[in-house]
Structure formats: C-alpha cells, structure tokens
A and B are shown apart, each in its own frame.
Chain A
C-alpha cells in the first residue's frame, strides 16, 4: 500500500495516544481536518492491510502485574525450527517468537519474550516450553534495568 501525505499525518496521530473523550475519533479527525467517517475508514484500511497490527490499549506490563519479564534464547536444530517455533508461539506468556542468526560464541537461534506474574511462574513456563518442544539448551536473560520502552514514531 502506497502511503500519501495524509496517511502519514494520520499514522503520526495514531502512533500516539488517543484523546480521552467520549468521541476520540471525531476529535482526532477534527485536528486532522478530515471527517470522522474518513478517519474510521482509513483505520479499517490500515488494519485490513496489516499496516496496523491492532488498535487498542497498550499496557505497561510491570504496572499491569506482569513483573517478571525475560528473554529466553534457545538452541534449536535447523530442521526443528519450524515445529519448535510454532509450539513456542502457542504459549500465551510468549509475546515475541523470532528466529535470528547465531554465531560461534552465541549458538542461540530462537528468541522468545516471556511475561509472567513472578519469576517462579516464569521459570515454570520456560520449563513447560522446554518439555513440550524437547529443546533443553537455552539461556534465560532477565532484564536487570529498563532504560527505554516506547512505541516507534514513524512519521
């Protein structure tokens, strides 16, 4: 989908925070100088074309009670990547599951971001993932400090 200047202005608004009023889209449309109907139509086009993955509330996981957050990296034989990736993706506690390149001093090739209410629960989720996939070589990296967490401003 080709984006024109209006699309970029709309996306610049939608990547931020919706005004907290009863008619947020009408208010946003007024700021953009278009009608509410036009804006709602644009959003449905973005959603249909997957430019927008979803529209809704984005939470701070710590404040929402998911205090244990970790990246778990797995060593998966190439021929098992597809199968393993799908099983890992089926865990509701896993938000991101990606295959990434490995290096001689870094053999991990499958990455999962896991969120849980406690470290104890998180450890048991990882154990379940390992049991269900048969992959027992992994490294669990907890976040010690958060320096930045924001949404991308594209335009």
Chain B
C-alpha cells in the first residue's frame, strides 16, 4: 500500500489526471494514457480504491470472433453461396455440383437447406434447382463484420444475433470468449482530488541543501512506490566449500585440537612407508598415485626413524624396504603424512592435532569423484585412549555438524587397527553412506616414530559433506566457479 496520510504517490497522481479527462477507463487505456505499465496501473488503482477516490466495476462480456478455419471458407464463400454460384453457372442438380468438385457430398444437404431457408433456390421438374434471388444473407453480413474485427455480443442487432445463432451451429465457424471488463471511474472525492493534482507540487528528493538550510520544513516529499523492485546486488563472500571447511575447523578447535599444516608434495616415505603401507601395495602404483615426473623429495626423517620403518616393513610385509621408492616425490594421497610427521616431531606425550588440505588421487573424475579434493584429518594422542574414546569424539564432532543419525562399522586400513568407518543416513538416497574413516594407529606405525601413547585418528573428504549441505548432485560443481551458483548460495542453511 502506498504511504498513509494525504500525500499522493506519483502513480496515483498520474491516474487521477488521466481519469479526470476520461472518467470511465479500462486498465489498458489508463496504461496507454499515463505511460505506466499494467502492474503499476493496477497497484495505483488499488491504492486509490482504498482511499475511496475511485470505484471499480467489473463486468463480463461475451466476445465473438471468426475461428481460424472459418477464415478460409469465408473467403471462398459459405457452402450455400457456392451452391448458388454453381447454379448461376448452369449446373442444376446436386450431383453435377458434387462431380464438378464445387462442394463435397457431405456439405450438400446443409447447403441446400440454407439456400432454401434464405429463399435463394427453387426446385423445379425433375429436382432441378433454379435461382429465385441471391442477395447477401444475414449470416454473410455478420461474417464480413467479424472478418474485420471481433464483436461484443451485446452490441449485435436482433437479426445479427439470429445469424450468429445459425452460424454457431456450424462446426468451427465462430468462437466465443468471456472477457472480463474492468472499468475504473472517479468517485466524487476522486473528482475533487483530481482537480488539485495539477496545482499540488511535490519533491522527489531530499537534498543536502534542504537539510542544511532548513527548507525541508516547507517541502512536501512525494511518496515512493515502496513495492517496486530494487536492483540485485551480489555481495562478496567466502567460497561455500570454504564455509564448510571453516565450520569443521572450528568444531575441531572446540574439541581442543590444534591446527597444523604441511606440504602437498611428500616423499613416498611419509605418504606410504611410515604408514606401514607396503611398497608393493597397489595403491602406490601410478594408477592411483601421482608421482611428480623425474623428481625426488628429501625424506626429512632421522636415520633412526628410517631404520625402524625398514625393519617394520621387513617383519610385517616380508619385503626389503627400498629407499629409492621412499624418495619418490608424490602429491599426497591423504593428509595423514602431515599429522603423523607432526606427531613424530613434537615428542609430546599427549596432544590433539588436525589439518585440512588438498589431496590427490590419479583417477578419472566423475560426478562423485574428484582428482583433487579436500581432506580433513584429526589425531589425538594421550595415555589410555581407547576405541570407545574414538567413537565418542566422532559422535561429538558429528553432533556439532548437525549430523545425529550415525553408525560405526568395522573396516580396514593398513595403518590403523582397529579401524572403523562412520556411516551417515542420507535421506535423499534412502541409504547409509560412508563419511569418514578412523582407527587407532598400529603399533608398527607409532613405535617406529618414537610415539608411545595410543593415537586415535580419523578423517575423510569434505566435498561429500558440502554436496549434502548444498544439495548438489555433481561434486564438480564445487569447483566450477559458476557465478549463478556462487551468487545464490545462502550463507545459512536454515
């Protein structure tokens, strides 16, 4: 609704002016006369109606017009007219007319009946037809009128109405439409208001000069169309995936974890060997891992650590540990090397650490797999930590992420034992899907790095959580930088 009080909106003023020169108008003509669009006229009329300055009458009228298929037959003439023309050219029997192709057989009866009714033909000896008169029939007149324009049924004369009735019986000649007719007219109050519209001056803008000079006291500010749309604006923002990463990081901090970071490029030592993954494990092959062409990476471990790892591999996997394999530079396949190396280097008896970073898998990307994605990993080390503690930390983490329906199933990782996977219920897919992997680091892993307390670890990909939160079907959309998406994702998922 426009502003309360006396001041009239520019739309209202324009309408009052237009109505004062043509007191009863349709919405369309008001739009034409004022230059406002239909929506603005409708709104303005509602406001004026509320102020009792106009009244609105709705009536329904019937409009008739020629149907598309009729136009053609109107041009060639009604069947009875074609019959008459044929007789004028010398044909006398219906059969002749049909044979000559003037009329199809099924139309002849109707044509003859109409011609008889119009008094155009007479039947003579042997059923031969002759012309009595051939003047224009009322139906033909009406059709001519309709060809020019559609007509309001109420404006037809009596004989035209009869002709319409006859035409309406023929299939597909005329069609009838109900038209709602809205008429806006000024009330008495409206009439006087429209008179003062001319003389009344209003300002659109409050200027600094008006404020400082005090002249604003004498100025009437026009009302604004407060319902009119305003232009779209696109705020800057963090990437929606980063929002989720930040949320996860803050939950970790809330659980007492310290954030750490490490390089993406790792040596095979920290990415695999120190994690008790045998050197001939299939995951280490080029098929699944990105090795950087022609590059090695310093192992950055003490001689003691290297020796212990070599020993663990020999004992556990029965294989001779090859240092060259350990030196190959890889794009980390998980963030575990970062957390593990940190644990090994801090020598703290207890600690909680986490890191989030990109990891790489040599795979074909698809709607659910990326070659490069974000992984989060948390480790907690302290005397006496147990499997139940691991499950407890997990449940707390998920609860803070708003995930309550969660289960834990046993699974296997080469470097943890026992190992579990957390399963979350996906309402859309109606099934349990894997979220994170977790476990207690195997003694072979921790002791070879000089760590004595049990180490709980868990982690997994973050993109999957983002897909669930944002309702995405294709994980690649997270990296598409499509502005239509970035500009429309709400910050809060209510």
Partners in one complex: no
